[in-house]
Amino acid sequence: MDRNRFFFQHYGLNERDLERYLAAALSAGGDYADLYFEYLSSTSLMVDESMVKSASQGISAGCGVRVIAGERTGYAYTDDLSPERILHAAHTAALIASGPAKTPTVGFQEKPARSLYPVTLPSVDAEITAKVELVMRADSAARAYDRRIKEVRASYADELRHILVVASDGTFAEDSQPLARMNVSCIAKTDASSARGSSGGGGRVALDFFFGEKTPEYFANESARQAILQLDAREAPAGEMEVVLGPGWPGVLLHEAIGHGLEADFNRKQTSAFTGLIGKRVASEKCTVVDNGTMPWRRGSLNVDDEGQPTQNTMLIEKGILKGYLSDKLSARLMGVADTGNGRRESYEHIPMPRMTNTYMLAGEEDPQDIIHSVKRGVYAVNFGGGQVDITNGKFVFSASEAYLIEDGQITAPIKGATLIGNGPDVLTRVSMVGNDLKLDEGVGTCGKDGQAVPVGVGIPTIKIDRLTVGGTAKKDVGSFMQ
């Protein structure tokens, strides 16, 4: 098998060294120790006012050593990959334990390698002039879309991350993870108002993705379209009403309202609103939700997680019944459940924890048009800005960046300033229709938890939620206040 052995080649490491470091990590006892080597190179470019205003490249490399003793974790890292510094980090992480030394498993075992993102030339190594062309094309396409587009900012960023994970349980896993993304944001202005639009996408893809599948013009037109649309948007209504979510990025609501609450660490500590609900109904029977780290080319996908465990397609909610949690090694061991390959970390400076990969709801059977037609008066939300959730009670808030009024089964006016307010364990029980149009987002999601950011994917078909609170900006009047 063709294995790349990046760290063996570039840092002169060998298996004996790795065994020695793990032995040092377990020198004061503990149940488990692992080493995470990372080498990350990245590029970014930004066009503002039609000028390539900034260009940057960087390299960061390091090794993190973790020791687990019971529920306790000791962690230390170094950006110097010399044996002395790694041993020093190992002895520091060992301070969490206090007992006789443990011996790591002898001999590493490498699982068969997968290849979910087989790029031949990682974009980070591609010609910089081609990347400049992408951002300049995005800039001119957005400006050409409409005379009212006054400001355009286009950016491109890519990275290539090499990792090696070895552990005292014999784990040995390597991966090379490319990631690329474009983003275009526009401001449209008239004498009367101004509005913003934003669009972007990418994945674990090579540069040619942006010259074929999703071009700079595609993102630029979408961004400009949103900005122009918002110029004439009406104030959003307020109150409880029927809400239809469009396909794709609105799946971020699923990620926040449901996904985080199903991460095993919160359930192990019994701080999740979903604690103890396995086997119970948490959604309407139309809802089936998975977390799937195995989708080719996707932003949230990984061949192996940051603990060296292959990722998988994990059933979270099946026809409304809660089936399982997302776990890393620590939670899997302490809770006596299978490791789902969701142990992720932002970098070698961080301790892994259960994180999502690509989280989405499976397609249903309804025609999206029929879903819209079924609504007497409500909101159709097709794009979201930010959102957040309080894990302990499941309460979430989202702001819709593109939304429309539905009146008598027809999409009428665009609205601005709509926020959706609800409760995670509650919202999916009110899903009465699920469309046949499952779509994943374009590849823009970055999830933050405990200060660690990781790339993720989200997705959803068109769905109808029978009742959700819309925090609107329109003044109360009988017509726009539904009970």
Residues 230-259 that bind other proteins (CB under 8 A): 252, 255-256
> Are 260 and 449 contacting, i.e. CB atoms less than 8 angstroms apart?
yes
Q: Which stretch binds other proteins (CB under 8 A): 71-79, 176-184, 188-196, 403-411?
A: 71-79
Question: Quick one: 369 exposed, middle or buried, by C-beta within 10 A (0-12, 13-18, 19+)?
Answer: exposed
Q: Does 58 bind other proteins (CB under 8 A)?
A: yes
Q: Does 97 bind other proteins (CB under 8 A)?
A: yes
Q: Does 420 bind other proteins (CB under 8 A)?
A: no
Q: In the complex with other proteins, which residue's Cβ is closer, 68 or 406?
A: 68
One residue of 23, 55, 113, 187 binding other proteins per CB under 8 A: 55
Instruction: Determine how many CB atoms are found less than 10 A away from the CB of residue 151.
Output: 16
Q: Which stretch binds other proteins (CB under 8 A): 126-134, 399-407, 411-419, 427-435?
A: 126-134
β-bridge pairing 377-390 and 171-189? unpaired
Alpha carbons 247 and 252: distance in angstroms, whole number: 11
Q: Does 360 bind other proteins (CB under 8 A)?
A: no
Instruction: Determine how many CB atoms are found less than 10 A away from the CB of residue 23.
Output: 17
One residue of 449, 463, 468, 472 binding other proteins per CB under 8 A: 449
Q: In the complex with other proteins, which residue's Cβ is closer, 169 or 441?
A: 441
SS3 87: helix
Q: Does 218 bind other proteins (CB under 8 A)?
A: no
Q: Does 96 bind other proteins (CB under 8 A)?
A: yes
Q: Does 413 bind other proteins (CB under 8 A)?
A: no
One residue of 388, 410, 412, 436 binding other proteins per CB under 8 A: 388
233: tokens are: 């948007």
Q: Does 72 bind other proteins (CB under 8 A)?
A: yes
Q: Which residue has the tokens 């990792």?
A: 163
β-bridge pairing 358-361 and 452-460? parallel
Q: Does 32 bind other proteins (CB under 8 A)?
A: no
Q: Does 118 bind other proteins (CB under 8 A)?
A: no
How many Å is the Cα radius of gyration of the chain?
Answer: 24
> Are 43 and 158 contacting, i.e. CB atoms less than 8 angstroms apart?
yes
Question: Quick one: 413 exposed, middle or buried, by C-beta within 10 A (0-12, 13-18, 19+)?
Answer: exposed
Question: Which chain residues interact with other proteins by CB under 8 A?
Answer: 28, 50-62, 71-79, 89, 92, 95-98, 128-129, 132, 252, 255-256, 260, 266, 269-271, 349, 351, 386-389, 391-392, 445-450, 456
